[in-house]
């Protein structure tokens, strides 16, 4: 489903990775691992289509994502480093706006259910500015509960700022997504036991040749 072909990326003058080729089939999870600065976030942003690789391409179902554009993004659920949560909106408003933005508006019931699923029941009408970092992270993750149409989840450090129960709940959620035949690509530094078929991809900065 999702494959990369001879991917190469240079940021500034530094070569992050080159010749990266992998394919992920439906129902599989890819765990991107590597040290700080190895280019994990960069790889994820390339897979989303936010960033263009220096060389190579990313394909979804055999087609270049730069050609698919909106058709690809419709299938994509992305939670990046930044939560994409507005401080001045309530938790419920944030979730409903995210759903409308993604192109499948959610009714209040659906949005409440999504917030309940990430353990934010009772916080629906609190403005995000009064919530903790972990709770804001949960609002961002609530987007994934809405987006059952999203075949592909790309999650950048989704477990940061979550408490133990939050981590377990998210791991379960990832397992369900894989069972549905979805694909999950994630990075994490925490040793979280992930259910389902998980492949690990280590990226290292290539040795510097002089």
Partner 1 sequence: MSGTTFGAVVRRDLLLAARQRADVANTLLFFLVVVTMVPLGVGPEMNTLRTIAPGVVWVAALLAAILSLNRLFASDFADGTLEQMVLSGEPLPVIVMAKALAHWLTTGLPITVMAVLLGVMFDLPRDAIGVLVASLLLGTPALSLIGAVGAALTLGLRGGGVLITLLVLPLYVPVLIFGAGAVEAVAGGLAPRGQLLLLGALSIGSTVLAPWAIAAALRISLE
Task: Please report, as ranges, the residues that interact with partner 1 according to CB under 8 A.
Answer: 48-52, 70, 73-74, 76, 78, 80-89, 93, 97-98, 100-105
Smaller CB distance to partner 1: residue 59 or 96?
A: 96
| DSSP strand pairing (55-60 vs 2-11) | antiparallel
Smaller CB distance to partner 1: residue 52 or 190?
A: 52
CA distances, 208 to each of 15, 17, 18, 23, 135 (Å):
9, 12, 13, 27, 41
Smaller CB distance to partner 1: residue 20 or 75?
A: 75
Nearest approach, Cβ of residue 210 and partner 1 (Å)? 29
Nearest approach, Cβ of residue 138 and partner 1 (Å)? 15
Mind spelling out the 3-state secondary structure of 4-45? EEEEEEEECCEEEEEEEEEEECCCEEEEEECCCCCCHHHHHH
The Cα–Cα gap between 142 and 129 comes to 17
Smaller CB distance to partner 1: residue 48 or 115?
A: 48
Nearest approach, Cβ of residue 193 and partner 1 (Å)? 28
Nearest approach, Cβ of residue 26 and partner 1 (Å)? 20
Residue 133 contacts residue 140 (beta carbons within 8 Å): no
């Amino acid at each position: 489903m999702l494959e990369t072909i001879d991917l190469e990326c240079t940021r500034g003058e530094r070569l992050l990775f080159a010749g990266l080729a992998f394919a992920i089939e439906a129902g599989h999870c890819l765990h991107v691992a590597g040290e700080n600065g190895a280019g994990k976030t960069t790889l994820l942003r390339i897979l989303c289509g936010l960033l263009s690789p220096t060389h190579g391409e990313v394909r979804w179902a055999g087609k270049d994502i730069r050609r698919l554009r909106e058709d690809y993004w419709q299938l994509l659920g992305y939670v990046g480093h930044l939560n994409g949560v507005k401080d001045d909106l309530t938790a419920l408003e944030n979730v409903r706006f995210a759903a409308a933005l993604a192109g499948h508006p959610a009714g209040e019931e659906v949005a409440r259910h999504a917030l309940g699923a990430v353990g934010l029941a009772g916080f629906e009408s609190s403005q995000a500015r009064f919530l903790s970092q972990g709770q804001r992270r949960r609002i961002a993750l609530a987007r994934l509960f809405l987006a059952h149409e999203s075949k592909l989840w790309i999650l950048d450090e989704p477990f940061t700022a979550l408490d133990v129960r939050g981590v377990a709940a998210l791991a379960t959620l990832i397992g369900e997504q894989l069972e549905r035949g979805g694909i999950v690509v994630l990075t994490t530094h925490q040793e979280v036991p992930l259910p389902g078929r998980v492949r690990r991809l280590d990226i290292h900065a290539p040795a510097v040749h002089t």
